[in-house]
Structure 1
């Protein structure tokens, strides 16, 4: 890797544990602590147990959130993060882990239901009021539509894989951080409509169509990278050539990563949603019981509340 890119892309520190790595670790630990605190509050004022909260929310959902944090760690920490500097193949794998592994697992974990419970009551009620007001404003109501999430996800995916934004993110670390936040945030919103419990969740044939039309732009982008006759990203191509890797072959492998594994994930989720739809109403744990998770748990009994 060229010295100037090393300084720009990863903060210029020595060794694998640099400021950006430590920042990712701190954020993951903070999110894990907030989620556990939310589970404790979700269990009720008498239990105050994260394990009891996980059972009430659904142990599968709690496990999904833990898996989502683990996927974020795999994507943004060494060795994959360091390999992504030199190989487009690894960089694309990093993006796909965020979009089709971490994002759906985090959405399935329903952090929006439990994490706000760690806030003071006044803040929690204020957040609930803001949510209610946002849903009643015509302009902001558009943000809650599945088509908006799909459009945002598609634009983010294609924009950050255009040559200029891609190379800029590779060279400048703050831009790289924004890129990753865009991927994870847009993908989470997309999967939120499918996997997070609530009245917003779509299901049945609409959910299948939603995933199918989501898969098409990603597959098209993967095809562009795979079938291109020349490297599209000059900085990434220079890095690959510097370690003795053919840039075009590296780009073709990256396109296949976006094309094939991502499509397999989408197809797997489509099959699961289809089976759930054919099986009739199901609970959050996949049983025939009704869902145990309230749609909008904006209030939690206080410590002084009597049973």
Structure 2
């Protein structure tokens, strides 16, 4: 299983960074697809596939969730998003930041769940559930915004349908992945506590 996770995680990174996805997707939905693959799909697979990587990035799950919140929301501010769209160096930094944020959250949460301590496992679940909540909020804001928030900063024509589609991708991928993982970790921790009692 570990090898399969490692291969899948690396393959997802190669796909989103090397495949000519621009030919198939508009600008903002592609941005959001890359973002969600990095934080919600590739990161947990890399943590499960490369245990040393997971150990290196494991911090308190609640602190990791806070760091991830700050980084993700910062890169979705119009000026920073526009910089990542226009400047290759800013794009690389944005992508590295998203992957790092994902590794921090998943490493901390999964490590906390493995300690055998109910409080640690619930903190791990809490980190994932908090991340699900803020991903849901950001996705909803992008989906329901009455105007294109980024066109002026990217130097592109307004594309409100593209922004809405990107927000829906965030809701469709990020929200359920983090929510389901958080609920499963919480259920497991509470089940183990009940079994010990």
Structure 2 portions without partners, runs of 5+: none
1:194 Cα offset (Å): 2.2
Q: Is this contact kept in 1: 2:64–2:127, CA < 8 A? A: no
What residue is the counterpart of 1:66 in the other structure?
Answer: 7
- Label 1:206 to 1:232 Cα distance change in 2 as closer, same or farther (>3 A): same
- TM-score, normalization by structure 2: 0.82
Structure 1 portions without partners, runs of 5+: 1-59, 116-130, 132-142, 282-307
1:179 Cα offset (Å): 0.5
What is the number of equivalent residue pairs in this alignment? 190
Greater relative contact order structure (CA < 8 Å, 6+ sep):
2
What residue is the counterpart of 1:225 in the other structure?
Answer: 142
> Cα deviations across residues 111-140 of structure 1 (Å, max 9, x unaligned)?
41699xxxxxxxxxxxxxxx9xxxxxxxxx
CA distance in structure 2 between the partners assigned to 1:191 and 1:114 by the alignment: 8
What residue is the counterpart of 1:267 in the other structure?
Answer: 179
- TM-score, normalization by structure 1: 0.54
CA distance in structure 1 between the partners assigned to 2:125 and 2:45 by the alignment: 18
Q: Is this contact kept in 1: 2:33–2:169, CA < 8 A? A: yes
What residue is the counterpart of 1:173 in the other structure?
Answer: 88
- Label 1:270 to 1:146 Cα distance change in 2 as closer, same or farther (>3 A): closer
What residue is the counterpart of 2:132 in the other structure?
Answer: 215
The range that moved more, 170-179 or 202-211, is 202-211
Q: 2:146 aligns to what SS in structure 1?
A: coil
> Cα deviations across residues 146-173 of structure 1 (Å, max 9, x unaligned)?
2321111001100111111111111111
CA distance in structure 1 between the partners assigned to 2:54 and 2:76 by the alignment: 34
> Cα deviations across residues 234-287 of structure 1 (Å, max 9, x unaligned)?
168764x5xxxx711111111111123211112321343245436649xxxxxx
CA distance in structure 2 between the partners assigned to 1:257 and 1:96 by the alignment: 8
What residue is the counterpart of 1:112 in the other structure?
Answer: 52
| 2:151 matches 1:234 | yes
Larger radius of gyration: 1
CA distance in structure 1 between the partners assigned to 2:166 and 2:87 by the alignment: 21
| 2:37 matches 1:97 | yes
- Label 1:226 to 1:237 Cα distance change in 2 as closer, same or farther (>3 A): farther
CA distance in structure 1 between the partners assigned to 2:11 and 2:45 by the alignment: 10
> Cα deviations across residues 56-88 of structure 1 (Å, max 9, x unaligned)?
xxxx2222121111111122122325656x421
Q: Is this contact kept in 2: 1:109–1:196, CA < 8 A? A: no
| 2:2 matches 1:87 | no
Q: Is this contact kept in 1: 2:78–2:153, CA < 8 A? A: no
